[in-house]
């Protein structure tokens, strides 16, 4: 559950949104409080309702992680429950996912400054050279939807790619699928990625869009060109043991397709969950499925949309009930997150938080405070394959 943190990170004071440290950020508890106080009434109403995951131990995980109560979460846990703490020096997508898969990040990521322009001239010159254009547009920190709306018409007129970044370690390129060409955009990002990776910029992201001025919209053909993990991950361990591995959503991009047998993508989280529902019934025994549901983060966390985030959580919980009903004896399901993105917080960046670890398939099992890498070790233990990372199984 991308960005669904539960507060309490012991090093939150070292991470910032602008000048404000992340100390006290708590994505789940603060959304629950806002709902209970009537401050999240757009498209929904009342207390935050997540009965399926709360029955497994979600509310208990929030209290364990941060000591904070989450209004509306009071169930006695019936599943595996605990909270995980990250050690990688980043609150970003690759760091969280790699560490959950057994590999902490051994380096510091690089970021572009909040200046205008944001990129060094030699980098923009290389982008223009690879694109076959006389220059680029953008060259700043920006919201993707905002910068496309503002510069999309000029992009179509000039053919210049729109380049921007964010608080993450990313370089994003937006281009019109028809006017610029989707394959041309993907080739540009792929050619540029090695240079950015050498700078320890985590991802080059292709952001294709379609439409006309006033009605531009991003498409589902986004592609992330990420630095490869520095060591074999849980996906590699499983694939090396001859197991089938399924990646849903961004997982293939995040892990550079390493250890991935089958990739399942979709236009939105609802489409991705249909893949998960199918695999709950059809995946081969002994296989591994790793899914990322990004819209909590991309649509609501970064935009500080508390009501939207609450709606997404409630919809996810309802669908999680359908998913759990399809699982078979011997299956293990774990719900967790890669970082926080508290929509009540200052700024638009992720927030440094612990994350919940909620499980189905092992009965009532409180696991306490664990490491991100312990998730990978535990999944490996369940699958009966050797774990190669520093984590320890909590099963």
Q: Point out the annotated binding site.
A: 2, 297, 302, 338-339, 350
Q: Give dist(CA 172, CA 95) in Å, integer.
A: 18
Burial, 150: exposed, middle or buried (Cβ in 10 Å; 0-12, 13-18, 19+)? Answer: middle
Burial of 183 from C-beta contacts in 10 A (0-12 / 13-18 / 19+): exposed
Calculate the alpha carbon distances from 109 to 21, 105, 159, 170, 201 in Å. Answer: 18, 9, 31, 10, 6
Contact 169, 236 (CB under 8 A): no
Cβ atoms 105, 98 nearer than 8 A: yes
43 token code pair: 């498209």
Q: How would you classify the pairing of strands 223-226 and 203-210?
A: antiparallel
Annotate 246-304 with DSSP letters as a single string: EEETTHHHHTTTTT-SEEE--SSHHHHHHHHHHHHHHSPTT-EEEE---HIIIIIITTT
Q: How far apart are CA 131 and CA 126, in angstroms?
A: 8
CB 162 within 8 A of CB 148: yes
Annotated binding residues for Mn(2+), written as ranges, equal 2, 297, 302, 338-339, 350
User: Three-state SS for 5?
Assistant: coil
d(CA 60, CA 159): 53
């Amino acid at each position: 559950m991308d960005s669904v943190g539960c507060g309490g990170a012991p090093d939150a004071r070292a991470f910032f949104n602008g000048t404000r440290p992340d100390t006290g950020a708590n994505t789940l508890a603060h959304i629950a409080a806002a709902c209970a106080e009537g401050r999240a009434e757009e498209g929904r109403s009342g207390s935050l309702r997540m009965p399926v995951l709360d029955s497994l131990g979600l509310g208990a995980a929030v209290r364990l992680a941060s000591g904070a109560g989450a209004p509306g979460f009071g169930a006695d846990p019936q599943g595996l429950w605990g909270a995980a703490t990250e050690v990688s020096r980043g609150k970003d997508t690759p760091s969280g996912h790699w560490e959950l898969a057994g590999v902490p990040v051994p380096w510091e990521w690089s970021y572009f400054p909040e200046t205008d322009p944001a990129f060094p001239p030699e980098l923009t010159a290389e982008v223009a050279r690879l694109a076959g254009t006389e220059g680029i547009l953008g060259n700043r920190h920006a919201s993707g939807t905002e910068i496309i709306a503002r510069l999309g018409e000029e992009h179509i007129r000039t053919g210049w790619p729109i380049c921007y970044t964010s608080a993450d370690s990313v370089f994003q390129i937006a281009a019109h699928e028809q006017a610029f060409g989707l394959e041309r955009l993907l080739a540009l990002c792929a050619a540029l990625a090695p240079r950015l990776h050498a700078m320890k910029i985590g991802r080059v992201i292709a952001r294709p869009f379609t439409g006309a001025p006033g009605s531009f919209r991003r498409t589902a053909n986004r592609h992330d060109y990420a630095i490869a993990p520095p060591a074999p991950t849980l996906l590699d361990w499983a694939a090396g043991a001859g197991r089938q591995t399924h990646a849903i959503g961004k997982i293939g991009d995040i892990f550079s397709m390493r250890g991935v047998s089958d990739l399942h993508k979709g236009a939105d989280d609802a489409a991705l969950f249909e893949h998960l529902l199918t695999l709950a019934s059809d995946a081969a025994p002994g296989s591994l499925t790793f899914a990322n549901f990004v819209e909590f983060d991309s649509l609501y966390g970064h935009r500080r949309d508390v009501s939207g985030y609450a709606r997404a959580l409630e919809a996810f919980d309802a669908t999680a009930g359908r998913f759990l009903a399809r699982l078979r004896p011997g299956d293990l399901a774990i719900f967790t997150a890669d970082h926080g993105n508290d929509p009540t917080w200052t700024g638009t960046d992720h927030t440094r938080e612990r994350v919940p670890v909620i499980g189905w398939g092992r009965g009532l099992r409180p696991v306490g405070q664990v490491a991100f890498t312990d998730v990978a070790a535990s999944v490996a233990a369940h699958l009966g394959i050797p774990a190669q990372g520093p984590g320890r199984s909590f099963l």
